[in-house]
Chain A
Amino acid sequence: MLPREYYDAIQLTPEGQLKHFLTIEGLPPQLLTEILDTADSFVDMNAQQVKKVPLLRGKTVANLFFEASTRTLSTFELAAKRLSADVLNLNISTSSTSKGETLKDTLMTLQAMHCDMFVVRHSASGAAHFIAQHVTPDVAVINAGDGRHAHPTQAMLDMLTIRQHKGDFKNLKVAIVGDILHSRVARSEIHALRILGANEIRVIAPATLLPKHIESLGVKVFTEMSRGLRDVDVVIMLRLQRERMQTALLPSESEFYSLYGLTENKLAYAKPDAIVMHPGPINRGVEIESRVADGPRSVILNQVTNGIAVRMAVMSMAMSGQLNTQSSSFTESSARTESL
């Protein structure tokens, strides 16, 4: 793992503004709060009659999806469109790479089209960092999920959902349940919860689905739901990533469900007002019981709504940081009282 300074240098301008959004790790708490506050403004806007603002007018956003995705791609697309950007969706897993083009060549081709922002999803950890290092300095890169490493916008939309329901993070006990081993979402969430000062972060999973040394991230490890869920305020369920399991990590889905599936009975261990989250797509009867997924404590659809707002926030902040870097020699106009 690269040192923290590395991420800071690549993600932030010298003034501390966001210019790429690659990982939560190493970001200051004020910046995460700024993302959440900005996203809150977009939540209000998205509920309005006119769901479009001109912040990214004239900019081109390319969604580079080297790995299949429906909800992440569609919420990024909608976010960019609601910011008035032109959007290009490239499903690269089925195009150039199958013809033998390297990642760098694909990138240079897209750069020649004068795109201003790349939203990258890739099955290899570190792909978004690689791209951020190789793009021209005026292009912003947003990580939409890289391998097992990070999925920072998913983590931030989860933080927004938690903040909307629970307010402050300080007194919260949060449990992340399921396939921690393959989950970039879990890693980003753990970093975000730590930076925002959550009281206690727990992971609950069978030993085969826990990465080695997960404790070093500052989490408490549980292998039983009855103990791990006790008195938690937030339960985050993860999807079982069958497509990433190369060896037999689980005896069967039904056994996983009986031990780690979130049923009403197991949810009873958590606090009575605990909320239930899931990044989707949900596997009913594998990770979660339908009665829980559709029940009053489920905030799964809020997460989807918040996903658009968080992505709008991150995109507009990163673009603002990029434009600021380019025009750092710009001298303030003589405006004295007007905010414009």
Chain B
Amino acid sequence: MVSGHLNAENLLESVTQELRVQMTHRDLNDPIMIGIRTGGVWLAERLHAALNLSSPLGVLDISFYRDDFSQSGLNPKVQPTQLPCPTEGRDLILVDDVIMSGRTIRAAMNELFDYGRPASILLVTLIDLQHRHLPIQPDVVGERLTLGEDQQIKLSGPFPLALEIRNRS
């Protein structure tokens, strides 16, 4: 159980540093950063600026790739995915706010592969809630948390970024 507020800006700062280390370690010179709508895009915009990346930022909307659309229906306001440059053969940095089951990242990778075969994908998330359903792990994480059964976490933004843990009513 955790309660109260986490400092999202501090977490972002540590994620930025860790990502910089990983990029050097993996020799990523000109990666394409891609944020998953909506929270992931806010983070990706900040990381993109902080790391001074030269390739333009991509935005992914995975709604059409969800594996549960039969249960939850379609979100009627799906915004388009925007990948401003070809991803074929490139190193990608995929950014999302929270990872839990891993299903969002599964959907995102399926969509990315429809656009071409990237050289590599590195995954960055601000929060890892564990409870994975799929064998997918982030490479860079701000904070690992275990929430209570009745708790949920919400990122608000884009500026400033704030994380709030709520009890479900």
Q: Would A48 and B80 count as touching, CB distance under 8 A?
A: yes
A7-20 to B contact mask, C-beta < 8 Å, 1/0: 00000000001000
Check: B123 CB closer than 8 A to any chain A CB.
Answer: no
Q: Would B100 and A45 count as touching, CB distance under 8 A?
A: no
Q: Who on chain B is nearest to A44 by CB?
A: B80
Please, which residues of chain B bring their CB within 8 A of the CB of A332? 71
Q: Would B70 and A327 count as touching, CB distance under 8 A?
A: yes
Partner of A320, one of B67, B73, B131: B73
> Given A317-B74, A336-B147, A340-B104: A49 and B115 within 8 A (CB)?
yes
Please, which residues of chain B bring their CB within 8 A of the CB of A105? none
Partner of A338, one of B65, B78, B98, B114: B98
Partner of B64, one of A54, A334, A339: A54
B134-165 to A contact mask, C-beta < 8 Å, 1/0: 00000000000001010111100000000000
The winner among A38, A327, A336 for most chain B CB atoms within 10 A is: A336
Please, which residues of chain A bring their CB within 8 A of the CB of B81? 48
Q: Who on chain A is nearest to B37 by CB?
A: A339
Number of interface residues of A (CB under 8 A): 33
B42-78 to A contact mask, C-beta < 8 Å, 1/0: 0000000000000000000001111111110110111
Q: Who on chain A is nearest to B150 by CB?
A: A336
Q: Who on chain B is nearest to A45 by CB?
A: B80
Check: A337 CB closer than 8 A to any chain B CB.
Answer: yes
Check: B7 CB closer than 8 A to any chain A CB.
Answer: no
Please, which residues of chain B bring their CB within 8 A of the CB of A49? 83, 115
Q: Would A336 and B80 count as touching, CB distance under 8 A?
A: no
CB within 8 Å of B: which of A36-83? 37-38, 40-41, 44-45, 47-50, 52-55
Partner of A337, one of B67, B78, B100, B106: B100
A257-280 to B contact mask, C-beta < 8 Å, 1/0: 000000000000000000000000
B interface vs A, CB < 8 Å? 63-71, 73-74, 76-81, 83, 98-101, 103-104, 106-107, 110, 114-115, 129, 131, 133, 147, 149, 151-154
A interface vs B, CB < 8 Å? 17, 34, 37-38, 40-41, 44-45, 47-50, 52-55, 316-317, 319-320, 323-324, 327, 330, 332-340
